[in-house]
Amino acid sequence: MRPHYWKWYVCGLLLLATTINYMDRVTLANASVRVTAEFGLSEEQYGNLELIFGWAFAAGSLVFGLLADRVRVYWLYPVVLAGWSVMGMISGWTRSYTELLVCRMLLGFFEAGHWPCALKTTFALLDEKDRTMGNSVLQSGASIGAIVTPQIMKALLTNDIGSWRNAFVIVGAVGLGWVAVWFVSMRPHELKTAAVAEKAAGGPRLFDLILSRRFWALALLITGTQTVWHIYRVWLMKFLQTGRGYSEAAALNFQSAYYIATDVGCVLAGVVSIWLAKKGLSAHGARRWVYAGACGLTSLSVALPWLPQGGLLLGVLLIIGGGALALFPCYYSFVQEVSATHVGRITGLLSMWVWAVTSPLHTLFGWIADQTHSYDQGLVIAGLTPWLGVIAMKLLWDLPKGRAHGSLPS
């Protein structure tokens, strides 16, 4: 029998996995100015690196989403983590734009497996009231990875001990250590879910779920959520350096501060959700209030075009970042409400949808930046997109109205 705190220890392992996932992902964004210069890329070509990553992530989401409901997470999780870690390392050895494109494609494919595996794990471990908090812990690893990586990059880019290539190799190798810890910590028979009970009770078929209003509410919600998070992840360094004239070292330092703010926002989303549930809201209703509040924070993007280099600009960016990551634990918990049998499949399908739809936005963003010589317009729009989720939940999530069911405030 495992002790009570064991479930939170496993959530800590998931946090570490998310950290490694984002460390491998954001190395390119942190080295974007150097990479585009070395390979002679336009902004649109740089955007294509994110496009190919995103489309591969979409394909991997479908593949690993299906596998997560059929293969034990004990085996599947370390396979996908080792896969993306190796591809991150190989990215540091590329010698052409085409080779880098291929590496980004395979990196995206394997990284997609993290989310179905992680959500299957928290679903099995945690009660419904604890899942937003557990998902906050899981998602906060994204911030930690993004905090640590700029400092690694700063050491390698601003001193004579390495280069951006070394950073790709070093960061990629970290994931192989996690695989060893996973096998030491876990047992093959663990992490069973309530799927069997739902099947016995005649749970909904996957096809019926895909056609449901709730599925499409979540499809629209994650579209807005993903857009604000990844537009800022990919383009913030360029906005700071090229758009506002910050030095590379200063921009890297702010990257770490930005992701500290996102981590604070993510954890607060879980804390506030639990607090609201104790005040009488349902778990679902608490999540909707938290999501709407986070949308208000990201909407401060409308001020960016009028803010020059300085403390006010950086402060607004920190608030936007906190709101952007606070959206995700709410979304993950909504997904877990839909079905016990199909958590992996639903996660994978929604992830495939959103990466396929939003990845071309990076190419479009780059094209607009090439034409206007500004990153401001794209960042403003990205900050407003999460409201699409509020509207979709109001119109499509067919729960009865009332405080007991946590209706969204009008």
Non-local (6+) Cβ contacts of 373 within 8 A are none
- Model pLDDT, residue 202: 52
- More confident site: 304 or 354: 304
The mean pLDDT of 183-189, rounded to a whole number, is: 80
- Model pLDDT, residue 200: 43
The percentage of residues in the chain with a pLDDT greater than 90, rounded to a whole number, is: 37
Low-confidence winner among 16-25, 53-62, 189-198 (lowest mean pLDDT)? 189-198
- More confident site: 143 or 349: 349
Q: Check whether 78 has a pLDDT greater than 90.
A: yes
Q: Which CATH architecture has domain 9-399?
A: Up-down Bundle (1.20)
Parse the chain into domains and list their residue ranges. Answer: 9-399
pLDDT-based confidence at residue 198 (cuts at 50, 70, 90): very low
Amino acid identity at 133: M
* Token pair of 314 as six digits: 């950086």
pLDDT-based confidence at residue 203 (cuts at 50, 70, 90): low
CA distance 381 to 379: 6
When mean pLDDT is compared over 105-119, 162-176, 183-197, 343-357, the highest value belongs to 105-119
Which SS3 state, helix, strand or coil, does residue 371 take? helix
CA distance 266 to 123: 18
Query: Using one digit for the tens of pLDDT, what is the confidence trace for 361-391?
Result: 888 888 888 888 889 999 999 999 999 999 9
- More confident site: 172 or 133: 172
Q: Is 161 exposed, middle or buried (0-12, 13-18, 19+ CB in 10 A)?
A: exposed
The mean pLDDT of 85-99, rounded to a whole number, is: 91
pLDDT-based confidence at residue 403 (cuts at 50, 70, 90): very low
- Model pLDDT, residue 288: 94
Q: Quick check: 83 and 156 in contact, CB under 8 A?
A: no
Which SS3 state, helix, strand or coil, does residue 266 take? helix
- Model pLDDT, residue 402: 47
Non-local (6+) Cβ contacts of 330 within 8 A are 132, 269, 273, 287, 288, 290, 291, 294
The percentage of residues in the chain with a pLDDT greater than 70, rounded to a whole number, is: 91
Q: Quick check: 117 and 76 in contact, CB under 8 A?
A: yes
- Model pLDDT, residue 311: 95
Distance of CA 212 to the CA centre of its chain: 25
Per-chain mean pLDDT for the chain: 85
pLDDT-based confidence at residue 158 (cuts at 50, 70, 90): low
- Model pLDDT, residue 192: 64
- Model pLDDT, residue 283: 85
Low-confidence winner among 59-68, 192-201, 261-270, 328-337 (lowest mean pLDDT)? 192-201
- Model pLDDT, residue 152: 77
Q: Check whether 398 has a pLDDT greater than 80.
A: no
- More confident site: 129 or 310: 310
Q: Pick the closest to residue 53 from 117, 101, 113, 92 (CA basis).
A: 101
Instruction: Count Cα neighbours of 408 within 13 Å in the Cβ-side half-sphere.
Output: 19
Please report the DSSP string for 332-357 in residue order.
Answer: HHHHHHH-STTHHHHHHHHHHHHHHH
pLDDT-based confidence at residue 407 (cuts at 50, 70, 90): very low
Task: For residue 119, give Cα distances in angstroms to 15, 69, 195.
Answer: 12, 11, 14
Q: Check whether 196 has a pLDDT greater than 50.
A: no
CA distance 334 to 36: 39
Q: Check whether 87 has a pLDDT greater than 90.
A: yes
The mean pLDDT of 142-150, rounded to a whole number, is: 78
Query: Using one digit for the tens of pLDDT, what is the confidence trace for 35-59?
Result: 888 888 888 888 888 889 988 988 9
The mean pLDDT of 156-167, rounded to a whole number, is: 67
Q: Check whether 126 has a pLDDT greater than 60.
A: yes
Q: Check whether 199 has a pLDDT greater than 80.
A: no
Q: Quick check: 23 and 148 in contact, CB under 8 A?
A: yes
CA distance 248 to 35: 13
